[in-house]
C-alpha cells in the first residue's frame, strides 16, 4: 500500500491499519518525538493507558496552546470563540453544557425517523441509478451532512456550502492562507445564520441555543460551537460509513455474521470504531509541567499528540487487537477520545451507523466491490476517496 512518507508518523496508515512503525513505537518506546502536520515538534503517545492518562489530565496537558487565539492574539479570538477543543475547564465545561442536552437519548430519538428517511432516500436514489455506483459520493458524504444540518437547523439552501467547508477544513494539503480564507467564509456564513436565529429562532440546535442560552452566549461563541459541530459531525461519520462498509466487504465472514444476526449491530459498531479509528489523534496538547510518560520526560511547554489508532490496537485493550471481530464484547476504546474532551457527538455518530449500515446491507444483499478503493491521504481523519460498489 502506497503512503506519503512526508506525513507525520501518527497520520500514516497501511490500508486499514496503523503503519508497522507506529506499532513498533508502541511496543518499544511508547513515546516518540515527531513533527505535526503544521511543522511543530511534538511528542507522540501510543500506548492505551498513557493515551487515557494524557486525555483525562487536562491540568497537566492543556488544550490551550501557546500562540493560539485563546492566548489573546487579536481578532483571532473572535474567530475561535466557542471552540470547545481549544479551551480547558471551567470554560470548556460552561460551553459544553449549552449543547449537551442535544445529544441525550431523548433528543436523538426524536431525530431517528428523519435519519431513517435520509438513509432510505439516498439508497433509493442509488438503486435507481443502476447496478453500480460510488458509495462515498452517493451515500456516506451526503447522509451525515444532511443529518448534522437537520440537527443544527441549517437551511437547505446553505447545505452545499457547509459541505464544502467541512471538506476543506481537514485537508492538510491546503495552505495556511487557504484554510484561513475558508474559516473566514464559514464564520461569516454562520454569523448570518446566528443573527437570523436571534430574530426568529428555528427548531434546530441553533435556534434552541439562542432560546435557552442566548443571554450567556455571544454570537461569536454560538458561531464557533456550531462550526465545530458541522466539522466533526460530518467528516468522521462519513468516513466511518465508507470505511466500515469496505472493512465488512473485505471480511466476508464478519459481513455474513452481521447479516445472519443483526442483533449484534451495536457490538459490530464498537468493534469497527476501535479497529478503524477514523481520527488519527485528539487535539494537540501542551504540557503545563514536567511529566514522565513511558520513561520519557515531557517538559513544561512541550507539545503532545495522542495516537488513537495505536492505542486502540494495544493488546492491553483487547486480545488479538489487529483482528476485526464484531462478536467481541465492546471495549473501552478511545476512538471518540477520552476525558473532558470526549466527543460530545458520539451518540449521534453511533445512531447514524446503527441505522445506516443494517439498511444498506439488507437493501443490497449482493453488495460487492466494483473496483479497488483508494485511501485518502493528507486529511486529519482516515477515509476513502471513493468506494466503487456493485449489487
- Span of 77-81, 96-100, 215-219 with lowest mean pLDDT: 77-81
Q: pLDDT per residue over 213-261, tens digit each?
A: 888 888 888 888 887 887 777 888 999 999 999 999 999 999 999 999 9
Does residue 73 surpass a pLDDT of 80? Answer: no
Half-sphere exposure of 371 (CA within 13 A, CB side): 12
Q: pLDDT per residue over 41-59, tens digit each?
A: 899 999 999 999 999 999 9
- Using a 10 angstrom Cβ sphere, with 0-12 exposed, 13-18 middle and 19 or more buried, the burial of residue 133 is buried
**Average model confidence (pLDDT) across the chain:** 88
Partners of 380 in beta bridges: none
- Residue among 65, 112, 102 at smallest CA distance from 87: 65
Q: Give the pLDDT band (50/70/90) at residue 373.
A: very high
Q: What radius of gyration, in Å, describes the C-alpha atoms of the chain?
A: 21
Highest mean pLDDT among 78-82, 94-98, 198-202, 333-337: 333-337
Does residue 272 surpass a pLDDT of 50? Answer: yes
Does residue 343 surpass a pLDDT of 80? Answer: yes
pLDDT value of position 80? 63
Partners of 42 in beta bridges: 34
- The full set of domains in the chain, from first to last, is 9-390 (1.10.630.10)
Would you state the cell numbers that stand for residue 26, as one nine-digit string?
A: 508502541
pLDDT value of position 13? 94
Would you state the cell numbers that stand for residue 331, as one nine-digit string?
A: 471495549
- Residue among 7, 339, 357 at smallest CA distance from 172: 7
Half-sphere exposure of 127 (CA within 13 A, CB side): 14
Q: Are 303 and 286 in contact (CB under 8 A)?
A: yes
Does residue 176 surpass a pLDDT of 80? Answer: no
- Residue among 283, 305, 319, 356 at smallest CA distance from 80: 283
- Residue among 140, 104, 109, 101 at smallest CA distance from 123: 140
Average pLDDT, integer, range 14-18: 95
Q: Give phi and psi for 143, each to the nearest 5.
A: -65, -55
Q: pLDDT per residue over 182-192, tens digit each?
A: 878 888 888 88
pLDDT value of position 311? 98
Q: pLDDT per residue over 251-261, tens digit each?
A: 999 999 999 99
Sign of CA dihedral 274, 280, 282, 288: positive
- Residue among 118, 138, 146, 141 at smallest CA distance from 388: 138
Q: Are 387 and 373 in contact (CB under 8 A)?
A: yes
- Percentage of residues in the chain with pLDDT exceeding 90? 58
Amino acid at each position: 500500500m502506497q503512503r506519503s512518507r512526508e506525513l507525520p508518523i501518527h497520520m500514516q496508515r497501511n490500508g486499514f491499519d496503523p503503519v508497522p512503525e507506529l506499532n513498533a513505537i508502541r511496543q518499544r518506546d511508547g513515546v516518540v518525538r515527531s513533527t505535526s502536520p503544521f511543522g511543530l515538534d511534538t511528542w507522540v503517545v501510543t500506548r492505551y493507558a498513557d493515551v487515557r492518562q494524557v486525555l483525562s489530565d487536562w491540568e497537566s496537558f492543556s488544550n490551550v496552546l501557546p500562540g493560539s487565539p485563546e492566548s489573546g492574539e487579536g481578532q483571532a479570538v473572535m474567530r475561535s470563540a466557542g471552540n470547545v477543543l481549544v479551551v480547558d475547564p471551567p470554560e470548556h465545561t460552561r460551553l459544553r453544557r449549552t449543547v449537551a442536552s442535544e445529544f441525550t437519548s431523548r433528543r436523538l430519538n426524536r431525530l431517528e425517523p428523519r435519519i431513517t428517511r435520509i438513509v432510505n432516500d439516498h439508497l433509493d436514489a442509488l438503486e435507481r441509478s443502476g447496478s453500480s455506483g460510488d458509495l462515498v459520493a452517493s451515500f456516506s458524504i451526503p447522509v451525515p451532512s444532511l443529518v448534522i444540518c437537520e440537527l443544527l437547523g441549517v437551511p437547505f439552501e446553505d447545505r452545499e456550502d457547509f459541505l464544502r467547508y467541512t471538506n476543506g477544513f481537514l485537508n492538510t494539503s491546503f495552505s495556511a492562507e487557504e484554510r484561513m480564507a475558508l474559516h473566514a467564509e464559514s464564520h461569516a456564513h454562520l454569523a448570518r445564520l446566528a443573527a437570523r436565529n436571534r430574530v426568529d429562532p428555528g427548531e434546530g440546535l441553533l435556534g434552541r441555543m439562542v432560546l435557552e442560552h442566548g443571554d450567556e452566549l455571544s454570537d461569536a461563541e454560538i458561531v464557533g460551537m456550531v462550526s465545530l459541530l458541522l466539522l466533526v459531525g460530518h467528516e468522521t461519520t462519513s468516513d466511518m460509513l465508507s470505511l466500515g462498509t469496505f472493512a465488512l466487504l473485505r471480511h466476508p465472514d464478519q459481513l455474513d455474521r452481521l447479516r445472519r444476526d443483526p442483533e449484534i449491530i451495536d457490538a459490530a459498531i464498537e468493534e469497527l470504531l476501535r479497529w478503524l479509528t477514523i481520527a488519527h489523534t485528539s487535539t494537540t496538547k501542551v504540557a503545563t509541567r514536567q511529566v514522565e510518560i513511558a520513561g520519557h520526560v515531557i517538559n513544561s511547554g512541550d507539545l503532545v499528540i495522542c495516537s488513537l489508532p495505536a492505542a486502540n490496537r494495544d493488546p492491553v485493550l483487547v486480545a488479538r487487537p489487529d483482528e476485526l471481530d464484531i462478536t467481541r464484547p465492546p471495549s473501552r476504546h478511545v476512538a471518540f477520545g477520552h476525558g473532558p474532551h470526549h466527543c460530545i457527538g458520539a451518540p449521534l455518530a453511533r445512531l447514524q451507523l446503527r441505522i445506516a449500515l443494517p439498511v444498506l446491507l439488507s437493501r443490497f444483499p449482493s453488495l460487492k466491490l466494483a473496483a479497488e478503493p483508494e485511501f485518502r491521504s493528507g486529511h486529519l481523519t482516515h477515509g476513502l476517496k471513493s468506494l466503487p460498489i456493485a449489487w
